Structure 1
Amino acid sequence: MRAVQVVEFGRPPVVAEVPEPVVQGPDDVVVRIAGAGICRTDLHIVEGGLEAAFQQRLPLTLGHENAGWVEAVGTGVSHVAVGDPVIVHPAVTCGFCDACRRGMDMHCGTWRFPGVDGWAGGYAELMVTSARALVKLAQGTEPATLAPFADAGLTAMHAVRRLAPFVSGGGVGATVVCLGAGGVGQIAVQLLKILTPATVVVVEPDSVRAETARTLGADAVLPLPAEQAADAVLDLTGGRGAQAVLDLVGEGAVPEQAMRMLAKGAVYSIVGYGGGVRIEHLDMINRELTLLGNQIGTHAELSELMRLVAAGRVSLATEVFPLDAAAEAMAAVGEGKVAGRAVLVP
């Protein structure tokens, strides 16, 4: 079968012929991929930026945002059957440790991360995962363009759920600032309007994404780079600052700007990465700030999100590319030419 692999860090991925995955254990499921979302993490992998963090060995089949149909199941699988449409949670977990039993799949001590840590991902015609990772979709669902919800959507859901307590008690005038309105940001804006009473302010310099954020319900859009956003947010809030900042950029001077725009008692919720900020303890104490890092989300959150999508309450613009054009599609994402989320279709 065809699969898109990183064979050398710093060079575009290639389409290779690899053996088809097969069921080996009782909980294994082979999924026929309908669509695989392109995440910026995939670009970082190609560049070699995650090699040390995940001890990656090449060749590596990419793809951690996956949806498709069940192709084959192990003897212990009963909640899905061949032909069922499914979306695939990014983590493969044990199901028995304390974290798994609490529903915190991404905290499993033995978790695997297909498409990232060496387990073959979904930039392919088929992939194997654990039955525990699957969320069954309604019969007749076309899963291809739903693939980005497996990570972009799940991460947004997890992050919004965690910051909601900081704004839900803020009453009239509570403000959440969303730095960036790409795929994750577009989903986050909708979830913030559904799950919190806050005024949602989006910082996005790209005119197409800015207009999309307005269409999706943002109360205000600041069309400027996140690196220059703090003063504008402070002006917009009468000097008070935001009760929450959801940082989907995380690079360069953005973290410093995010810290500046926080109100007293606020939370800085981090999704984007690549940069950093110096933490001044006295400032943290005096403003009683909270920092939250967000790593994907739980199986329950993915199930809830898919119910919202099925009900038409959350949507995402996608651009479809053939699997053989993966390198070109990833380049388009890296150059900011995809307004929402790119999806590879075998």
Structure 2
Amino acid sequence: MAEHPQRSAIRIGISGWRYAPWRGRFYPKDLPQDKELAYASHQVCTVEINGTFYSLQRPEFFAHWRDETPGGFVFAVKGPRFITHTLRLRNIDEPLANFFASGVLALHEKLGPFLWQLPPTLPWDAARIEPFLQMLPRDTEAAAALARRHGRRMAGRSLTETDARRPLRHAVEIRHPSFACPAFIAALRRHGVALVTADTAGKWPLLEDATADFAYVRLHGDKALYSSGYSDEAIADWARRIGAWSRGATPRGARLAGPRPRATGPRDVYCYFDNDIKVMAPRDARALMGALRLPMHPEAPGEGMPIADGQPVERE
């Protein structure tokens, strides 16, 4: 984490950490698989938990991840696709309670923002989106209260208490072009939810509207989705944009769907590389940290280890 004079924090990390092509390239060849998170957490200061998108996890998993990582580390948690893709944000009272009961509160002070990725087939619809934004808990006590409304399937595998009251943040990643409209931007600002700036090699909208007191960036690849690495010039440009967001400014040349935001104080920034197929994500994350002059973790093993291209892997 980097503290700036304006007291914003910039966190650069990776989306997920368990990928077979990374072994022997990013991870040392003899590193046990159950030590990969610990290793990655000394190379970057934040990681997105992707497993929560595919299925509900368990409290002991989150507690283990919390204990495997150093002080000051932060996790972003991806919301379940059952809520966003299957139910498409309708009739989600119990599924949302089940998610918050699944153990996310066990991350304690390492619990960062929640990521809600909407499917490319879901268009902007205020009647659908606004109630969802309203339902999202804004602090850990509200999340615990919501978790206590979980369904029977969570019996014996739930966590419905929090160790402390902390604010919670939420970010929405959109993939349908109809969201590029002022009404959606206004809705996010009313609810204090961040719009994810997602670079997807031109496949889905790339918007840079600031809608909350933090910014959330996902870099999936600028030339080829999930696989292309970022050039030095591209890294420098993202560093420039992140620097502007951290100061509370709008980056020069920002692609906006709504009116420019009012002047605000500095924003925290979370940025995750998801170009993992060819092992580019950890390399690019470290390069962006360098461009932003963020301190590398002093205990990072394998500092400066070269990362070679891996073989493509299947993605969902």
TM over 0.5: no
- Higher RCO (C-alpha under 8 Å, 6+ residues apart): 2
Query: Going by fraction, where is strand more abundant, 1 or 2?
Result: 1
TM-score, L = length of structure 2:
0.28
Tell me the TM-score normalized by structure 1.
Answer: 0.26
Larger of the two Rg values belongs to structure: 1
